[in-house]
Chains A and B, each alone.
Chain A
Amino acid sequence: MSPTPKRPSESSLRRTNWVLAGITCGFLALAAVLLATPWKPATQAKIPLVDPSFLEQTAWRKSYADLAREKADLSDFQCYVCHEKKNPPPLRYDDQHVLIVPDEHSDIKMGHGTHNRNNLCYNCHNEGNLLTFSTRDGNELQFAESSRLCGSCHGPNFRDWEAGVHGRMNGYWNHQLGEFKRLDCVNCHNPHAPRIPTRKPAPPPHPLRQPVLLEPQAPQATTP
Chain B
Amino acid sequence: MGRRNFLRSSAAFAGLGALAASLSPLREIGDYSSVDEFMQKYYKEMTPDDMSKVIKRIENEVQRQYGIRPHVRDLKPMDGVEFVYCLNLTRCIGCRKCVHACVAENNQSRNPEIQYIRVLKLPHGSMDIEKADHLYNPEAVPQKGFFYMPVQCQQCHNPPCVKVCPVHATWQEKDGITVIDYDWCIGCRYCEAACPYWARRFNFTKPEIPKERLNPNMAYLGNRPRKQGVMEKCHFCIQRTRVGRYPACLEVCPVGARKFGNILDPDSEVSYILREKRIFIQLKEEMGTNPRFFYYFEK
Chain A interfacial positions (CB closer than 8 Å to B)? 13, 16-17, 20-21, 23-28, 30-32, 34-35, 38-39, 41, 44, 46-47, 49-50, 54-57, 60, 160, 163-174, 176-178, 180, 183, 188, 196, 198-206, 208, 211, 213-214, 217, 220
Contacts and interface: CB of A to CB of B under 8 A. Distances in A.
Contacts of A202: 95-97, 99-100
B137 to A, nearest CB: 5
Contacts of A171: 245-246
A177 B137 contact: no
A198 B104 CA distance: 24
Interface in B1-45: 3-4, 7-8, 10-11, 14-15, 17-18, 20-22, 24-25
Contact of A166 (B10, B140, B245, B256): B256
A112 B272 CA distance: 28
B299 to A, nearest CB: 9
Contacts of B94: 201
A176 B245 CA distance: 11
B48 interface: no
Interface stretch (B50-58, B108-116, B223-231): B108-116
Contact of A169 (B21, B256, B276): B256
Contacts of B144: 220
Given A173-B246, A177-B244, A188-B256, A47 B113 contact: yes
A214 B110 contact: no
A44 B112 contact: yes
B134 A204 contact: yes
B185 interface: no
Chain B residues touching A, majority SS? mixed
A173 B134 contact: no
Contacts of A41: 205
Contact of B7 (A24, A34, A60): A24
Nearest to B208: A47
A206 B18 CA distance: 39
A46 B37 CA distance: 31
B112 A27 contact: no
A178 B244 contact: yes
Contacts of B243: 177
Interface residues of B, number: 70
Nearest to A39: B25
Contact of B11 (A23, A54, A206): A23
Contacts of A172: 244-246
B267 to A, nearest CB: 8
Given A199-B93, A201-B94, A28 B141 contact: no
A172 B94 CA distance: 25
Instruction: Give the most central of B96, B144, B241, B276: most A CB within 10 Å.
Output: B96
21 contacts: A24-B11, A27-B17, A30-B21, A35-B21, A35-B24, A38-B24, A54-B97, A54-B101, A57-B252, A164-B272, A165-B269, A169-B246, A173-B269, A178-B244, A183-B256, A200-B141, A201-B94, A201-B96, A204-B135, A208-B113, A217-B138
Contacts of B200: none
B186 to A, nearest CB: 20
A155 to B, nearest CB: 13
A200 B139 contact: yes
B246 A60 contact: no
A26 to B, nearest CB: 8
Contacts of A27: 11, 14-15, 17-18
Given A24-B14, A203-B96, A198 B141 contact: yes
A223 B8 CA distance: 85
Interface in B232-278: 241, 243-246, 250-256, 259-262, 268-269, 272-273, 276
Given A28-B18, A165-B273, A208-B112, A196 B252 contact: no
B136 interface: yes
